[in-house]
Amino acid sequence: MPTNDNNCSEDGATRQVGDIGLFASNAINFRYTDIGPGVLTPMHRTPTIDYNILIKGEAVLITDDGTEKHIKNPGDVVIQKGTAHAWKNPGTEWTRFASILIDAKPAVVNGQELGFFMEMDTK
């Protein structure tokens, strides 16, 4: 930040914003996430600052050290800053939250960048 909109000849249809996946690099992203009853997402980390706002249902945030934080009131906010985490829906109804992901430089621990990763289930 700040953003750079240099009004080049590319319009929104052709402008490249980076790798599209969980987030677009060099950008602020807005997304909805729906998690079904009993579903656990993979553990993941993005080099972003995330503002997660619960819209409906309930969710448990699980960090890589095993800590769990249960959020259950619409409007509850969880802020993630490049941490490894997963989400679990412990309820019987669908959960929805809105997230704003702000691209950030990856954290560096012991000289190593902690960039994007996602644990993939190999079962």
* DSSP tag of 93: S
Domain for residue 79, yes or no? Answer: yes
**Tens digits of residue pLDDT in 72-115:** 999 999 998 888 899 999 999 999 999 998 888 877 778 877 76
Q: Say how far apart CA 49 and CA 34 lie, in whole Å.
A: 20
Domain for residue 20, yes or no? Answer: no
Domain for residue 93, yes or no? Answer: yes
Q: 3: which residues sit within 8 A by CB, 6+ positions away? A: 27, 28
Q: Say how far apart CA 111 and CA 86 lie, in whole Å.
A: 25
Domain with residue 98: its CATH number is 2.60.120.10
Domain, as residue range, for 103: 29-107
Half-sphere exposure of 123 (CA within 13 A, CB side): 2
How many Å from the N-terminal Cα to the C-terminal Cα in the chain? 40
Q: Which pLDDT score is estimated for 23?
A: 66
Domain for residue 122, yes or no? Answer: no
- pTM metric for this prediction: 0.74
Task: Give residue 45's region: left, alpha or beta (phi > 0; psi -120 to 50).
Answer: beta
**Tens digits of residue pLDDT in 59-69:** 999 998 999 99
Domain for residue 17, yes or no? Answer: no
Domain for residue 66, yes or no? Answer: yes
Q: How many domains does the chain have?
A: 1
Domain for residue 112, yes or no? Answer: no
Domain for residue 117, yes or no? Answer: no
Q: Say how far apart CA 102 and CA 2 lie, in whole Å.
A: 11
